[in-house]
Structure 1
């Protein structure tokens, strides 16, 4: 009998408090289907499943709700309970991607004698002193860390006193089996209830302050006044929805600007666009830009560190946040000049950094999991 057939897969727990719509959650879901048979990725939610967790549960794939973190206060008995659960369920690697999951996951894994990976899904920013102290402590207990870039790797090593040989670089990954150019965009739009032949500009981003949606609305108002005949769509939810809806209405954009909320799956909405925009004031490594590039959609984005890292410093669609006219002018030029849109696409295809697929990330992580779990 084949010995490999008798070997059970290595069980890797991905720890979350909840699984809202986000890049870390999408990576875990993608890995669940694209890991080699020797690895099983198992999401564990410590507060509630969240929208993405509920999606996973409905598919029948393994996911667990272990309510050991009911509030924002650290629950020490909950960490002990999680540690026992990890041992009882034969978990061999713990993987965390957000701060509170780092705290619970790394401490529980350390107590259970299981290697833990701290995965930083954002570029490094200065933390409050308490979080810095905690992250330095967790760094000593974790077996490895993952960052988005070499710069983030250097920042993490310096800030948290991490050993360089234990810090690996893994860029954000896109499920290229779904995020790819649309076959028949008009038919796709009709199926989504969108105008089939309009100039369609859109973004995918939470309705929060760093995403700077007020600038999106100001851009669209200026573009409309300059003669752009089209629609603007915004996929995302967040605490600023009502405030932004009032701003939209005050600008007279009710008929040309739609707030679509969280759309799952999101890839058809991305494929439907003529132009993707992102005017954030801060980004880590923006997954939405990478998804747009994989769909071969031209991108207009603010010239901030994360966007420049994803697109390349000379990308023709980058604009300065310091000049309010640059953003609408870039969009207007895309509307009027097909050759400018093509120049953006050519740059993205030939000069922007390569977009990593979830399949490539799965190969990297499967090797790391096996390396850390080896006796």
Structure 2
């Protein structure tokens, strides 16, 4: 198959959706398909894709309507006899999806790692006319879209994210800087979405009860000055540490005691998957994908891999930490169960196999109808 991925994320932005797209493109390339990933010039995603051996190209999509760019993409699709176009953002669908219709590209899919489609008429118009389906990573997102009543039952396909579990990871030695302390670790973009303000409040609550905890956070973002000021105001300068951007968080995950996800919303939180792969107990807010990933049901938050808590609730975070941190046997059991679950159901290999099969089915169906 000849496949083009388009992702017009900002040049300096790179998150879980971008990592998924590169991993998917790399996996399909290794299976013998002709795959290209296109984005903005000098973008992080193109550099990352090139490092992974994925073919790249440049398309500048800046808005919902771009006639010149649409025609340019249509010509590219015709020239390369593209079978499948996979778009990331809504503007990618509107610009590149229209180009695919003009070029006669058989299959156009949107990939939604989060709830990117609301009940607005423009979303209905573009998704039902310019795409042949949506790929998502969470049953909760598929259920939300089903309520719109726009799509048939097979329009939205769930393909879980995957990761490659490293064979060996050397644990970061937190004891050199924090001797005698237990480490609560988190990672993510320093933005409102990730809920770090509530994590700081939880740390302040716990500080009134005990002095043996250190919170460490990897990430960068526009809220960094505000969050650092909040931690300082709460008297947490020595126990709430900002580590900045961390290219490889596996050593930190291996070296910590508990991982906490405090997000207000997610798609399928990759960082939770990574923590489980490092055999760490997880405390996660009840966001899209967390229950499916951790093995909890829709009605029962109990699971064998960690504790699920409500979002925007610092006391719930503090309570969950207190429940786990002094119970090494329970933490070890959660960690072991998490590793087994990820290695069984959430590998890159499984993700790529499921994606390849879905793309082949879509292409066969479209050609059969034609």
TM-score by length of 1: 0.82
Give the equivalent residue in structure 1 for 2:21: 28
State how far apart, in whole Å, the 1-side matches of 2:230 and 2:254 are. 27
1:95 deviates by 0.9
1:286 to 269, 273, 290: 269
State how far apart, in whole Å, the 2-side matches of 1:198 and 1:164 are. 51
Give the equivalent residue in structure 2 for 1:258: 241
Judged with a 3 Å threshold, the aligned counterparts in structure 2 of structure 1 residues 300 and 341 are, in CA distance, closer, same or farther, namely same
Whether contact under 8 Å (1:15, 1:44) holds in the other structure is: yes
Give the equivalent residue in structure 2 for 1:357: 347
Structure 1 unaligned spans of 5+: 1-9
Give the equivalent residue in structure 2 for 1:64: 57
- The 3-state SS of whatever aligns with 1:243 is helix
Judged with a 3 Å threshold, the aligned counterparts in structure 2 of structure 1 residues 197 and 354 are, in CA distance, closer, same or farther, namely farther
1:322 deviates by 6.7
Judged with a 3 Å threshold, the aligned counterparts in structure 2 of structure 1 residues 37 and 305 are, in CA distance, closer, same or farther, namely closer
Matched, 1:40 2:28: no
Matched, 1:119 2:111: yes
Give the equivalent residue in structure 1 for 2:43: 50
Give the number of aligned pairs: 354
How big is each residue's C-alpha offset from its partner over 1:38-81, in whole Å with a ceiling of 9 and x where there is no partner?
A: 22332100x344323223335564211222x2x44532221111
Whether contact under 8 Å (1:283, 1:305) holds in the other structure is: yes
Whether contact under 8 Å (2:2, 2:34) holds in the other structure is: yes
Q: CA RMSD in A?
A: 3.0
1:89 deviates by 3.1
Structure 2 unaligned spans of 5+: none
How big is each residue's C-alpha offset from its partner over 1:16-48, in whole Å with a ceiling of 9 and x where there is no partner?
A: 113622111111222233334322332100x34
1:160 deviates by 6.0
Judged with a 3 Å threshold, the aligned counterparts in structure 2 of structure 1 residues 124 and 41 are, in CA distance, closer, same or farther, namely same
State how far apart, in whole Å, the 1-side matches of 2:312 and 2:223 are. 23
Whether contact under 8 Å (1:271, 1:295) holds in the other structure is: yes
Whether contact under 8 Å (2:170, 2:254) holds in the other structure is: no
Judged with a 3 Å threshold, the aligned counterparts in structure 2 of structure 1 residues 196 and 84 are, in CA distance, closer, same or farther, namely farther
1:91 deviates by 2.5
State how far apart, in whole Å, the 2-side matches of 1:372 and 1:304 are. 30
1:354 deviates by 6.0
1:246 deviates by 1.1
Whether contact under 8 Å (1:278, 1:302) holds in the other structure is: yes
* Further displaced range: 83-92 or 339-348: 339-348
Whether contact under 8 Å (2:74, 2:103) holds in the other structure is: yes
Matched, 1:81 2:78: no
TM-score by length of 2: 0.83
Alignment of 1:1-375 (within 5 A): 10-18=1-9, 20-35=13-28, 36-45=30-39, 47-58=40-51, 61-67=54-60, 69=61, 71-72=62-63, 74-114=65-105, 115-123=107-115, 127=118, 129=120, 132-159=121-148, 161-171=150-160, 173-178=161-166, 183-185=169-171, 188-189=172-173, 198-311=181-294, 312=296, 313-315=301-303, 317-321=307-311, 324-345=314-335, 348=338, 355-374=345-364, 375=367
State how far apart, in whole Å, the 2-side matches of 1:352 and 1:63 are. 30
Judged with a 3 Å threshold, the aligned counterparts in structure 2 of structure 1 residues 237 and 101 are, in CA distance, closer, same or farther, namely farther
* Further displaced range: 304-313 or 291-300: 304-313
- The 3-state SS of whatever aligns with 1:325 is helix
1:243 deviates by 1.0
Judged with a 3 Å threshold, the aligned counterparts in structure 2 of structure 1 residues 231 and 49 are, in CA distance, closer, same or farther, namely farther
Whether contact under 8 Å (2:93, 2:126) holds in the other structure is: no
State how far apart, in whole Å, the 2-side matches of 1:317 and 1:16 are. 34
- The 3-state SS of whatever aligns with 2:266 is coil
State how far apart, in whole Å, the 2-side matches of 1:73 and 1:31 are. 25
How big is each residue's C-alpha offset from its partner over 1:177-210, in whole Å with a ceiling of 9 and x where there is no partner?
A: 33x7x5542xx447x9976874222112222212
Judged with a 3 Å threshold, the aligned counterparts in structure 2 of structure 1 residues 269 and 90 are, in CA distance, closer, same or farther, namely farther
